[in-house]
Structure 1
Amino acid sequence: MTQSMKHSLKFLLKRYSFYLGGDQPAVTWYERFRSALGAFIGLMLVITVAMYLRELSGIDEWLMASLGASALLVFVLPGSPMAQPWAVIAGNTLSALVGVSCAILVSSPLLALPMAAALSILGMFMLRCLHPPAAAVALIAVLGGITHYRYAFFPVMVDSALLILSGAAYSNLTGKPYPNRPPK
């Protein structure tokens, strides 16, 4: 390989490496394991409590499917504005309410699905509670044909609050302050 070909190849790799994760920050193995263990413990706690509450209430829906994505934000990126308690709890709850409303009011899934996601995003903007997994909560409500607003409170709001509590406990015990305190 000639020198100019090596230089061109290096240039191309450097220039386009972000397509293969080259823009991701380096993370220590300690932090990787700390985050993964936290997500495991937090989700195990939430799932255990949700199962118990399901048995007490006899409610079929007891876990929100997008909880894993919320856990990623809370345990891996606790400093993100989208991982803060208001964003997680209000974003997920609002989106569930929007999704249930769309499932009730719009008979065509082709219209109800994008409408649920779009309206939940608009609502999160308005309430300043952007949480990306919450848009999936709205879609899940429509896809699941969920037509009772109780779903927004249990499992969605309860699971979100439990995740926040476990995330705060774990993060603070392992040296990561959570939730963020606003600058003074």
Structure 2
Amino acid sequence: MKHHQPHALTQSGPSGHTEQSGNLELSGLSGLSEPIGPSAQSELSAQSEQLTLSGHSAQLRPPALVRLLTLLGPGLGAFAAIYAACELGALLGALLVMAPLGASCVLAFALPDSPLAQPRSIVGGHLLSTVIGLVLLHTAGSHTWSAALGVGLAIVLMQRTRTLHPPAGADPLVVLLGGSSSASWSFLVTPALLGSALIVAVAWAYHRLGSKRPYPQRWL
């Protein structure tokens, strides 16, 4: 009596057929001599996904030098503006720097999109507030109440003339409390006008050549 041996590829069941066929197809496609099991497939897939993600993150991450310049840029711009004002003032024998201009640099270089950082606000705000301080100094004198009144008037008039610039609110105090160095009407030109205009010019050059941010948003 002859016994027939079962064929080597005889299906032992639905699940066995599926696993064996899948292994044969994977081994044929990959060119490997042995089939790839499910765990190996999962590991290869995870490694491939990790490499893809790392490649994308490497492309999106800016170079270290660019990040450093972005971080230090506003400070470098302010340094250039104040240094230029000091050196140019020494060359011309004129005062081009006063304390509120340092605060103006914060807006001009770090927040160039702000309405408070536009040339109309920087130059106009310093001019108007300095005028208020000089008028009060020459009419009422340097007193506690006149200094306080100067700051209040500066805020109101800057709002009404669309020249609101927070650092300029300190200009009346500089004039009224600064002594003889700020008592002359020439203080309106140097440092108020020329100093603030110089900051705007340096900020314009810095954003045009360095930060590539649009500045100013508007001139007037």
Q: TM-score, normalised by structure 1?
A: 0.76
Q: Secondary structure at the match of 2:102?
A: helix
* From 83, 90, 93, the counterpart of 2:117: 83
Give the equivalent residue in structure 2 for 1:52: 91
1:154 shift after superposition: 1.2
Corresponding residue for residue 15 of structure 1: none
Query: Shift in Å at residue 32 of structure 1?
Result: 2.4
Task: Letter of the 2:214 partner, please give it.
Answer: P
- What's the offset of the Cα at 1:157? 0.5
**2:174 matched to which residue of 1?**
140
Deviation at 1:151, TM superposition (A): 0.6
| Alpha-carbon distance in 2 for matches of 1:134, 1:181 | 19
The answer to whether the 8 Å contact 1:46/1:162 transfers is yes
Q: How far 1:93 moved relative to its partner? A: 0.8
- Tell me the distance in 2 between the aligned counterparts of 1:181 and 1:107: 37
Task: Determine whether 1:152 maps to 2:188.
Answer: yes
Secondary structure in structure 1 of the residue aligned to 2:163: coil
What is the root-mean-square deviation in Å for CA atoms of aligned residues?
Answer: 1.7
Listed one character per residue, the Cα deviations across residues 109-142 of structure 1 (whole Å, up to 9, x for unaligned) are 1111111111111111121000000011111001
> Which stretches of structure 1, 4 residues or longer, exceed 3 Å deviation after superposition?
none
**Shift of residue 29, structure 1, vs aligned partner:** 5.0
User: Aligned residue for 2:165?
Assistant: 131
TM superposition score normalised by structure 2: 0.64
Deviation (angstroms), 1:107: 3.1
**Identical columns (%):** 33
The offset of 1:148, in angstroms, is 2.1
For residues 132 and 77 of structure 1, the distance between their equivalents in structure 2, rounded to whole angstroms, comes to 13
Q: State the distance in 1 between where 2:158 and 2:152 align.
A: 10
Matched, 1:68 2:105: no
Match of 1:169 among 205, 210, 213: 205
Gaps of 5+ in 1: 1-27
Which residue in 2 is equivalent to 1:99?
133
1 or 2 for the larger relative contact order (CA 8 Å, sep ≥6)?
A: 1
Shift of 1:65: 1.6
Compare CA radii of gyration and give the structure with the larger one. 2
How many Å separate the matches in 2 of 1:90 and 1:64?
A: 16
Quote the offset at 1:36 in angstroms: 0.8
Change (3 A) 1:119 1:108: same
Q: What is the rounded CA distance, in whole Å, between the counterparts of 1:144 and 1:132 in structure 2? A: 19
Q: Is the 8 A contact 2:125 2:165 kept in 1?
A: yes
